[in-house]
């Protein structure tokens, strides 16, 4: 149990500051999202940074798409949460905790996934590993832990306890359920981004590309959307389906990456020559990509297993996790 260090007045002040900051971040993200589209002109023919082969299928093209969608997602989420803080909406507490846990749990696996890219060149920075660890400790662990501690204060929970009829929709879901919804959103975005890379898909030891790969990614998107609907409506068979889906996806991914040499993977992606030269010279192997990917899939399965009791309770019962 958290020691109470805040009275209602100080808690209310911090909530207002957090809400203002969150709305500001959301608006800034909303401002930059359309500007990011301009990058397509910069890298296209006639643009300042044009290189041969920049189009759908190139690494940067898909990355720009992911960044644009990410900007809009951050904008909507932060403006919504900021609005909830400034108006003390009761659903804000659960959503804020879920977002904090989302960043805390998936921030490290995502960074592990991209960590080898940080060392592809010699940066003119002293002690880069130390700086990276400091960044992780502060941004991914320290700040989220502080926020969770703050949100668990009784004075804060009391300020957000003004449940109204309009708050009932999200109030019926536990924090772990909202967290799982956010995770599903991440997968929907991920499967869309993969389509930009020839739809490459790990299928039990071999990589599917082209139309077969796109079809599999499309099918995965539909499945995840169904799981999201089932989670919200507490449809029990969708819980069983989601667990089976991610178990098969994990097995398929592990088998495929262990069976596919890194050079073969780059060939299948068929990047433009400029990008191919960069990726082929990275000190990577396919099995080195597995830790980040496997950890994300494993955490997803654990969240699904933990959410099982949420599906079993009566829809008329308000579930409150410990």
Judged by DSSP in three states, 121 sits in coil
What are 116's two structure tokens?
């080898």
pTM for the model stands at 0.84
Domain extent listing, the chain: 1-172, 174-314
Helices 59-86 and 8-43, axial angle in degrees (round to 10): 160
Give the integer Cα–Cα distance in Å for 115 and 205.
Answer: 25
Give the integer Cα–Cα distance in Å for 206 and 208.
Answer: 6
Give the integer Cα–Cα distance in Å for 263 and 266.
Answer: 5
Q: Which of 133, 164, 113 is nearest to 284 (CA)?
A: 113
Per-residue pLDDT of the chain (322 residues; tens, 9 = 90+): 456 677 788 888 999 999 999 999 999 999 999 998 998 888 888 888 888 888 888 888 888 888 899 899 999 999 999 999 999 888 899 999 999 999 888 877 666 555 544 544 455 556 666 777 888 888 888 999 999 999 988 888 888 886 554 545 667 788 888 999 999 999 999 999 999 999 999 999 899 999 999 999 999 999 999 999 999 888 889 999 999 999 999 999 999 988 888 888 888 888 888 888 877 876 666 666 777 787 888 889 999 998 888 876 544 444 444 3
Judged by DSSP in three states, 24 sits in helix
Do 151 and 159 touch, CB atoms closer than 8 A?
Answer: no
Please name every residue paired with 201 in a beta bridge, in sequence order, or none if there are none. 208
Please name every residue paired with 58 in a beta bridge, in sequence order, or none if there are none. 56
Q: What angle do CA 251, 255, 261 make, to 5 degrees?
A: 150
- How many beta carbons lie within 10 A of that of residue 152, not counting itself? 13
């Amino acid at each position: 149990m958290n020691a109470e260090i805040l009275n209602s007045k100080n808690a209310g002040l911090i909530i207002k500051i957090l809400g203002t900051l969150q709305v500001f971040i959301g608006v800034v993200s909303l401002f930059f999202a359309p500007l990011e589209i301009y990058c397509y002109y910069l890298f296209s023919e006639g643009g300042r940074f044009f290189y041969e082969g920049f189009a759908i299928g190139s690494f940067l093209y898909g990355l720009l798409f992911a960044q644009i969608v990410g900007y809009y997602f951050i904008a909507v989420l932060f403006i919504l949460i900021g609005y909830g803080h400034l108006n003390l909406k009761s659903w804000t507490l659960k959503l804020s905790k879920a977002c904090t846990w989302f960043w805390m749990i998936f921030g490290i696996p995502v960074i592990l996934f991209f960590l080898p890219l940080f060392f592809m060149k010699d940066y003119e920075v002293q002690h880069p590993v130390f700086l990276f660890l400091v960044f992780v400790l502060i941004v991914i662990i320290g700040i989220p832990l502080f926020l969770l501690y703050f949100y668990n204060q009784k004075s804060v929970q009391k300020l957000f306890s003004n449940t109204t009829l309009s708050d009932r929709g999200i109030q019926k879901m536990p924090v772990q359920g909202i967290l799982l919804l956010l995770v599903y959103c991440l997968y929907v975005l991920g499967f869309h981004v993969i389509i930009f890379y020839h739809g490459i898909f790990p299928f039990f030891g071999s990589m599917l590309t082209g139309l077969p790969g796109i079809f599999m990614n499309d099918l995965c998107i539909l499945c995840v959307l169904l799981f999201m609907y089932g989670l919200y409506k507490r449809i029990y068979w969708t819980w069983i389906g989601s667990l089976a889906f991610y178990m098969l996806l994990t097995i398929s991914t592990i088998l495929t990456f262990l069976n596919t040499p890194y050079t073969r993977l780059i060939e299948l992606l068929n990047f433009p020559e400029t990008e191919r030269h960069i990726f082929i010279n990275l000190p990577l192997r396919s099995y080195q990509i597995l830790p980040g990917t496997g950890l994300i899939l494993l955490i997803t399965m654990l969240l699904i297993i933990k959410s099982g009791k949420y599906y079993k309770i009566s829809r008329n019962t308000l579930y409150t996790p410990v």
